[in-house]
Amino acid sequence: MVDFRADLAEHLGRFRSAPFVFVGSGLSRRYLDLGDWQGLLRQMAVLTGQTYEYYLATADGDLPTVATLIAADLHESWWQDDAFEQSRIEFEGRVHTRESALKAEASRHIAAAMVNLPLKGPLAAELDLLRTAVIDGIITTNFDPMLEEMFPDLRVFVGQEELLFEAAQGIGELYKIHGSTEEPDSLVLTKRDFEEFNARNPYMAAKLMTIFVEHPVVFLGYSLSDENVCEILQALVSCLKTKERIAKLADRLIFVEWNPDVEEPTMAPSVIPVAGNQISVVALTVPDFVDVFTVLGSIQRTFPARLLRQLKEHVYELVLDKRPPTQLHVLPLDPGQDPREVDVVFGVGAIRELTAYAGLTAEDLIADVLDDGTRYDPLRVVQQALPAILSHPGNVPVYKYLRAAKLLDAEGNLLDQDNVDPKVCKHVECRAERLGVLKSQKGWVKKAVKQYPTFENLVESLEKHEVLKAIPGLDRAPRNRLRQFLVEDTDASYGSQWRKMVCLYDWLAYGPAPKPRKVRRGRKAARSA
C-alpha cells in the first residue's frame, strides 16, 4: 500500500499541473446508490404504464431510442395527469420540448438520491478524502449534483453549449458535459440528444485539448472500454492529428478501476486503442478509493484552483476588453521598452497595500460570521472580497458586512445600490429564493415541520442532515440557537445545505435591524403623567 501511494504520487509529480478528474456513473452508483443508465430508463418506463422490456424490444436494444420512446409516451400524461402536478410546478419554466417530461422526471429521481450520500462509515470517510483532493477541475457525464456538493468552489458549466460558448478558463471548473438535474432540458438522454452531442463532440474535444495535453487526467467510475470515454478520446485524437502530438497524451491518462475482490491496490502500464493509435495509459486497480483520494489530497500547490481561475479570468478580460476591469491596474511601459524584457507581477489583494481581502474565500467569511465580533473591515469585504467570491455560484454570507458598513436600511434592503457591486446587489435581491426550501424538497419539509413545528423538535427528532433541510420551513428559526447548532455541527459532509443555513443565520442576525423595545412605564409614573 505504501509503495502504491508513493508510486502514484511520483507519477503525478512528473507533471507541472494538478490533475483533472474525469468522473463517470460508477461514483454515483457507489455513493448515491443510483442505478446505471438501463436502471434509470427502467424507472422511467414505470411512469408510462408500459414495461421496460417492451421499449427495449421496440428499440432493438438501442438505449437512446428507448429513452425517445418513453419520452413520447410520457409527454401527454405528464401535462394532463394530476399525478404529475407537483412535477409541473417544480419545473415550471424549465421544460420546453416533447422530451422534457422524461427529463424532468429523471431529474427528480436522480436529485432525490442525494439523501443517500453517506454521512458515516467507510464510504463517508472516502468522500471526506475526496473533498481534500487538490485538482484543477472535473469533467463528468453524470447528471447528479454530488460533485457540486463535494467541490463548491468550482465554477459549473452545464452541457456542451456552455462549455463551447462561455469563457471557460480550464482551471477551477466543473464541466457537466451530459447536463445537470438543475436544468432538465440539458440532459443527454434520447436519440436526438446523442446525435446533437456527437455532432458537437469535435468542437468540445478542441476545447478540452489543452486540459488533456497539459494535465494528468484521472478517470473515476469508468472502465477502459467505456463508450463515452472512447468517443471523446477519438474526437481528441482527431484534433491532435499527428503522432507526435498524440504522443503527448502518453501516461497522462490514469484509469482507476474499483474491484472489491483485490486485496491490495495495483498500478501498471496499459494501452488503449483509439482511432488507429495505441495510447499509453496507467491502469490502477483498487479495492476502495482511500489510497487514490489520499494521494490526490497530498499534492502541493501554492494557490487554490479557485484563485488561479480568477487571475486567469482577469487576464483574459484584460486582453479581450479595451477597458480593463477595475480590479486590474496596468502600469505603462517606458517609451521604446521591449515587452519581452518586462517582469510581470500579479498583486493579489488591495491596490494601496497588499492585503488578503481579494483573496478571501466564502469559507473565510462563513467562519467569521459564526464567530463573535469580526476580523475584517466590513467595507473592504463588501468592495474587495464579495465581488470576487460572488463570481462563483453558491451561498455566501453578506449581511454582517453590509450592516456593519451601514449599507442596509431597517428592513435589510440595500441603501446605496449604485456604489455596491452588481453581483452583491443580485445576491441580496435573490435572498428569499436562495435561502428558502428547495422546490424538490417542499413536500418533505412541509410534512416534517408540521410534525415537528419548533427548532428543538426538529433537532430532537431528525438526523442532522434532515434538520438542515427542514430549517427554512420554520416560521422563524431562533438565530442564537441556530448559530449554536451550526457551530457544533460543522461536518463538511453536510456541504451546501450547512453553508446555506449559515447564510440564513447571517440574514436573521444582521439583515433586518432589531426593533427598539417599548419601555413600559410603571404605575406611579403613569398616574403622575
Q: What is the pLDDT of residues 309-329, one digit of tens each?
A: 555 555 544 544 545 555 555
Q: What is the pTM of this model?
A: 0.61
Smallest CA-to-CA distance from 467 within 479, 476, 459 is with 459
Provide CB contacts within 8 A for 268, sequence distance 6+. 282, 283, 285
Q: Are the C-beta atoms of residues 499 and 423 closer than 8 Å to each other?
A: no
Tell which wins on pLDDT, 350 or 325: 325
Smallest CA-to-CA distance from 168 within 125, 211, 128, 118 is with 211
pLDDT at 519 over 50: no
pLDDT at 100 over 70: yes
Q: Where are the domains of the chain?
A: 2-33+118-297, 37-115, 308-516
Residue with cell 442564537: 480
pLDDT at 370 over 90: no
Residue with cell 483533472: 20
Integer Cα distance of 158 and 146 in angstroms: 14
Q: What is the band of 189 on the pLDDT scale with cuts at 50, 70, 90?
A: very high
Which pLDDT score, from 0 to 100, does residue 191 have?
A: 96
Per cent of the chain over pLDDT 90 is: 36
Highest mean pLDDT among 134-138, 276-280, 418-422, 428-432: 134-138
Q: What is the CATH number of domain 2-33+118-297?
A: 3.40.50
Integer Cα distance of 376 and 39 in angstroms: 51
Integer Cα distance of 97 and 104 in angstroms: 11
Tell which wins on pLDDT, 268 or 234: 268
Which pLDDT score, from 0 to 100, does residue 35 have?
A: 85
State pLDDT tens for residues 135-176: 989 999 999 999 998 998 888 889 888 877 766 666 788 999
What's the alpha-carbon Rg for the chain, to the nearest Å?
26
Integer Cα distance of 384 and 389 in angstroms: 9
Helix residue ranges per DSSP H, 113-263: 122-131, 146-150, 159-165, 191-214, 227-240, 243-246
Which pLDDT score, from 0 to 100, does residue 41 have?
A: 95
Average pLDDT over all residues of the chain: 83
DSSP state of 115: G
Integer Cα distance of 132 and 58 in angstroms: 46
Smallest CA-to-CA distance from 218 within 134, 118, 307 is with 134
